[in-house]
Amino acid sequence: MLVLFVNKIKKLKGENMKFSSISKVAAATILGGAFFVGCGVDQVSNSVSGTGLAAYIKGGTAFVDCNKNGVQDAGELSTTTSDNGTFSVNSICTDYNIVITGGTNSVTGLTIDYPTIAPKGSTKISPMTTMLAALPAADRSGFLSSLGLSESDLNVDYNVADTSNPTNQSLISRIAAIKTLVETTLSSAGGKTSNIAAIATAFKDSVADGKFKTDVNSSTITSFSNAMASKYTDVNISSDIATVSTTVSNLAKADKDTFKKQLESAENANADIIDKKNGITRLTLGSSLQIGDINTTLTNGTFSATVDTNSSTKIADFYNIAIAQPTLNQDINGTEQVSLTLSIVAKTNHVGDKIVLKINTVDLTSSSENLTSTIPTGTTISLSSTGLTGISNVTKDTNASVANSDLSVNVNNLLKVLDGDMSTQITALNTYLTTPNSYDVNLTIGDLDKTKLTTGYTSITGTVEVK
């Protein structure tokens, strides 16, 4: 093969094509194919594409594992997964596993601490396929049958609801629920490659009675948990399964309208377990957002709201933003300080006009896992604008503290502890914001010490349409 390759290059050179014009990457790929002949390697590099599912695996290293050892060896080419988990990488072998290491969960922002693996032919690489790849080939069909699934079911993107077919949605919800339990067991066991085969065998044996074939509910989850506790004794997996049981049950029965919210809750439930084991408090921002007098839904850190200025719903003070239902996996140790920055940018009229309100210090504390945020005395508050006539930049320090039982920016409360200059600017700002326009709104939580306090997303973004 190598001689043929050299002769081919000579022929190309004879046709006035210089070897130096071949990129180093391409040459390495071709040479890699030459050197791996005799080891199950194809002579021609083939492209392998797929999607890493966690929710989605962002920024992971995807590679074709020719010797199926879970480690990227010399000659095994790799690429980085996109924000939606997609990847395409060249393969120099005919038999392989697809492996994604590292990366973060697109919902929780948590680093994935176990390799995500799938057998050749898979287009979705997920915790479910990780279990499948860890089992002997002879056991795989029986394992899937006990779950009421086929291999093709594992190539479904369980992050996307089926809005037109309730039967398909029922299957997607059940797959997502089982996947959550797989994630729980992998995370509980520490995610080490050496543990995965043992976990997969215990999982297979624990579902062999077909308990999840038709339903995933509190009863079948408890039965599964008891079986896992007896079959995998290295760690107490059953306590973590109990923690996610209700969330998983709700996800399994979710319809197209509730699925996205329930899936997000399941991802965060597993993230809570992992962070708690690592001594990190996880702040989950929840799904309810208040903008001025408008209540809207917050999904994966995004929202949209529309208001008619002629209706009874007011848009006044929509720079007042409150995340009404934040939750914690454990109490914050002492006080953690963050900053909050709110920006509002005009999109339709006066395009590019921008308002930025920054609160330099917000103290976060908790009791019984209930969050309190306090803007302490002496905190610097700055208001700046670009393109707005009649609104000046102003910076002031608070003369008293302002406490909230949630995580919020409430300018009306701040005005009580700031002097009149800020109030004058806010009054002008409120007049500006109540005129018909479309606005991009962003609230950023800054200065997080992620070794102590973390959250799935630190930026909330959305649009407000004023008609």
Q: What is the pTM of this model?
A: 0.71
The 3-state secondary structure of the chain, one letter per residue: CHHHHHHHHHHHHHCCCCHHHCCHHHHHHHHHHHHCCCCCCCCCCEEEEEEEECCEEECCEEEEECCCCCCCCCCCCEEECCCCCEEEEEECCCCCEEEEECCEECCCCCECCCCEEEECCCCEECHHHHHHHHCCHHHHHHHHHHCCCCHHHHHCCCCCCCCCCHHHHHHHHHHHHHHHHHHHHHHHCCCCHHHHHHHHHHHHHHCCCCCCCCCCCHHHHHHHHHHHHHHCCCCCHHHHHHHHHHHHHHHHCCCCCCHHHHHHHHHHHHHHHHHHHCCCEEEECCCEEEECCEEEECECCEEEEEECCCCCCCCCCCCCEEECCCEECCCCCCCEEEEEEEEEEECCCCCCCEEEEEEEEEEEEEECCEEEEEECCCCEEEEEEECCCCCCCEEEECCCCEEECCEEECHHHHHCCCCHHHHHHHHHHHHHHCCCEEEEEEEEEECCCCCCEEECCCEEEEEEEEC
All residues at 6 or more sequence positions from 455 whose CB lies less than 8 Å from its CB, including other chains: 109, 282, 283, 284, 285, 445, 448
Degrees, nearest 5: CA angle 394-395-400: 130
Degrees, nearest 5: CA angle 206-208-213: 105
| 194 Cα distance to chain centroid | 26
Q: Which residue has the tokens 């990190």?
A: 280
In the chain the first and final C-alpha atoms are separated, in Å, by 70
For residue 119, which of 103, 102, 146, 143 has the smallest C-alpha distance? Answer: 143
Cβ burial, residue 97 (10 Å; 0-12/13-18/19+): buried
By the 8 A CB rule, do 41 and 31 touch? no
Residue 158 half-sphere exposure toward CB, CA atoms < 13 A: 33
Q: Which residue has the tokens 């509730």?
A: 258
pLDDT by residue for the chain (467 residues), tens only, comes to: 333 333 443 444 444 433 333 333 333 333 333 334 434 444 446 899 999 999 999 999 999 999 999 999 999 999 999 999 999 999 989 999 999 999 999 988 888 988 999 999 999 999 999 999 999 999 999 999 999 999 999 999 999 999 899 999 999 999 999 999 999 998 887 655 668 889 999 999 999 999 999 899 999 999 999 999 999 888 888 889 999 999 999 999 999 999 998 999 999 899 988 888 888 898 888 788 888 778 888 887 888 888 776 655 555 566 788 887 788 888 998 999 999 998 989 898 888 888 888 999 999 999 998 898 999 999 999 988 888 777 778 888 999 998 888 888 777 788 888 876 777 777 777 777 777 888 898 999 999 888 889 887 888 899 988 88
Predicted confidence at residue 43, as pLDDT, reads: 44
The number of beta carbons lying within 10 Å of the beta carbon of residue 352 is 9
Encoded tokens for 265 = 């809750």
Cα distance between residue 111 and residue 107, in whole Å: 11
Domains of the chain, each with CATH number or no CATH? 21-122 (2.60.40), 126-278 (no CATH), 281-466 (no CATH)
Predicted confidence at residue 312, as pLDDT, reads: 53
